Each structure stands twice: as structure tokens, then as C-alpha cells.
Amino acid sequence: MAKKDDRIIITLACGTCKRRNYTSMKNKKNDPDRLSINKYCKWCRQHLEHKETKR
């Protein structure tokens, strides 16, 4: 059974306006690099790349 310590909460920020719009969880072992996902930014009003930021 997996440990709970492997999953951490991350914050995703818009690549254009740099606002922190989303939070998510990721597994540190499977994804050691920073995560980037296309998501909707309500301030830019379009789908843009959101990158993982420091807390």
C-alpha cells in the first residue's frame, strides 16, 4: 500500500497573467519535475498553460 507522504498539494499559476487559479495533487515519485497543464483562466478568458509554482 502506498504512503500518503508521496502525494503533495501543488498550486497552478497562469503562464500569462501569473495568477494562481488552481490547486491539485501530484505524486512526487512519479512526477519529480514541475507540472504544466492547459486550463481555463477566468481573468484572461481563454485556455492557457498553467504551471506549478512554489507555495
Q: Residue 11 pLDDT > 80, yes or no?
A: yes
Report the C-alpha gap between 3 and 54 in whole angstroms: 23
pTM: 0.83
Q: What percent of the chain has pLDDT over 90?
A: 80
What is the rounded average pLDDT of the residues 14-18? 96
The answer to whether the CB of 52 falls within 8 A of the CB of 31 is no
Q: Reduce the DSSP state of residue 19 to 3 states and report it.
A: coil
Tell me what pLDDT residue 3 has.
67
Domains observed in the chain: 4-49 (2.20.28.120)
Read off the pLDDT of residues 34-51 as tens digits, 9 standing for 90 and up: 999 999 999 999 999 999
**Selected residue with higher pLDDT from 6 and 48:** 48
Give buried/exposed letters for 22-52 (b at 16+ CB in 10 A, else e): eeeebeeeeeeeeeeeeeebeeeeeeeebeb
